Amino acid sequence: MNLLDPQGPVAAANSTILVDSVFIMLAIVVPTIVAILAFAFWFRASNPKANFQPDFVYSGRVEMVVWAIPALTVILLGGVAWIGSHQLDPAAPVPGTGSPVRIQAVSLDWKWLFIYPDQRIATVNMLTVPAGAELNIQLTSSSVMNTFFIPQLGSMIYTMNGMVTKLNLRADNEGKLKGLSAHFSGDGFPDMMFDVNVISPLSFPDWVATTAKTDAVLNEDSYKKLMQQGIEKGRPTYRLEDPRLFDLIATQHIPPGPGPQLASEAGRSQSGGHDAR
């Protein structure tokens, strides 16, 4: 999950900006730290060779320089930020080979549902994508906020109930990656890590065909069961009955997840906790 080992163009660009920014800043940070330690050491009271200058309290030239150094650095970095923000806008397209794959991600309490509307399938806690293709991801949440993040593919984004956020990514190399939720969402939060399988574009249709053969069907009813609080250790897959399911969730035609189902406790609500364990 190393951020500096990107597996797609977005992550590569993100981490390049990250590393470049660090080096731009180190160029002034390191000399400053050295100067702090050197001045502190040299001008120690016990050093008879140090020149005591109690009247050195203002110097226009020094002031000029100390305002200029951080200002110039920030101008440079500001440029990086401006250009980077526009090029790496999560909603900006990331051209790839072959036709783009549409994915609709829904954060549930406490698992990820990935809907492939065009392929009419859905998976939980496992995202399978073809290498090299543009991934158009739409995201929403069934209940509380979460953040969708695959560190080695780059750019995370929030999921919120009743709203749709957009993220475009591309995975360049076949292999297995990890994704997670990066916004705390309750007791089962740490179990929201999911697998990302990047497979070859040739085998992707096969995977879709195999997955579509499953008996499990995702429709409003089974979705409502799925969105109950709980963690999912397995990797269930579904045939998608209604390709508009995501829209029904995002527009709240399906009401938000219910949260912990209260037994009769007054003060200490522990139902969530039991689920998580």
Partner 1 sequence: MLGKLDWSAIPFDQPIPLIAGGVVLAGILAVLIWVVVKGHLPYLWHEWITSVDHKRIGAMYILLASVMLLRGGSDAIMMRIQQAIAYQSQGYLPPEHYNQIFSAHGTIMIFFVAMPFVIGLMNLVVPLQLGVRDVAFPTLNSVGFWLTATGALLVNLSLVIGEFARTGWLAFPPLSELSYSPGVGVDYYAWSLQISGVGTLVAGINLVTTVLKLRTKGMNYLRMPMFCWTTLASNLLIVAAFPILTATLAMLLLDRYLGFHFFTNEAGGNVMMFMNLIWAWGHPEVYILVLPAFGIYSEVVSTFSSKPLFGYRSMVLATMAICIISFMVWLHHFFTMGAGPDVNAIFGIASMIIAVPTGVKIYNWLFTMYGGRIRFATPMLWSVGFMVTFIIGGLTGVLVAVPPADFMLHNSMFLVAHFHNVIIGGVLFAAFAGFEYWFPKAFGFRLDERWGKVGFWFTFVGFWVTFMPLYIVGMLGMTRRMQHYDVAEWRPWMLVAAFGMLLLTIGVLAQITQVVVSVRNRDALRDRTGDPWDGRSLEWATSSPPPVFNFAFYPDVRGEDAYWALKQHAKEQQLGDHPGPEYQDIEMPRNSPTGFVCAFFATVMGFALIWHIWWMVILGGVGAFATFVVFAWRDHDEYVIPAAEVERIDRINIEERRSLVSMAGAV
Site for partner 1 in 233-272 (CB under 8 A): 252, 255-256, 258-260, 262, 265-270, 272
Rule CB under 8 A: say whether 216 interacts with partner 1: no
Alpha-carbon separation of residue 149 from 4, 14, 97, 168, 267 (angstroms): 15, 13, 23, 12, 35
What token pair was written down for 247? 């829209």
273 binds partner 1 (CB under 8 A): yes
Neighbours of 244 (CB within 10 A): 12
Q: Given the rule CB under 8 A, which of 43-51, 93-101, 203-211, 214-222 is the region that contacts partner 1? A: 43-51
Exposure letters 211-234 (e unless 16+ CB within 10 A, then b): beeeeeebeeebbeebbebbbbee
Where does residue 258 rank: exposed (0-12), middle (13-18), buried (19+ CB within 10 A)?
middle
For residue 98, the minimal CB distance to partner 1 (Å) is 25
Question: Could you say whether residue 208 binds partner 1 (CB under 8 A)?
Answer: no
Residue 42: cis peptide before it, omega within 30 degrees of 0: no
Identify which range of 21-29, 100-108, 199-207, 219-227 contacts partner 1 by CB under 8 A.
Answer: 21-29
The answer to whether 11 contacts partner 1 (rule: CB under 8 A) is: yes
For residue 114, state whether it binds partner 1 (rule: CB under 8 A).
no
Three-class secondary structure of residue 134 per DSSP: strand
63 versus 220: smaller Cβ distance to partner 1: 63
Structure tokens at 146: 């979460």
Residues between 86 and 105 that touch partner 1 (CB under 8 A): 86-92
Report the nearest approach of partner 1 to the CB of residue 124 (Å): 17
Kindly identify the residues of this chain, within the stretch 158-197, that bind partner 1 according to CB under 8 A.
Answer: 158, 160-163, 165-166, 178, 180-190, 193
How many residues lie near partner 1 (CB under 8 A)? Answer: 106
Residues 248 and 264: their CA atoms lie apart, in Å, by 32
Out of 103, 121, 133, 156, point to the residue binding partner 1 (CB under 8 A).
Answer: 156
> Smallest gap, in angstroms, from Cβ of residue 214 to partner 1?
26
Give the separation between CA 180 and CA 192, rounded to whole angstroms: 6
Which residues are registered as beta bridge partners of 105? 114, 139
The nearest distance, CB 96 to partner 1, in angstroms, is 19
Using rule CB under 8 A, residue 58 touches partner 1: yes
9 touches partner 1 (CB under 8 A): no
- 96 CB neighbour count, 10 Å cutoff: 22
Check residue 151 for interaction with partner 1 (CB under 8 A).
Answer: yes
Q: Is 123 a residue that touches partner 1 (CB under 8 A)?
A: no
Nearer to partner 1, 127 or 240 (CB): 127
Q: How far apart are CA 145 and CA 139, in angstroms?
A: 11
33 interacts with partner 1 by CB under 8 A? yes
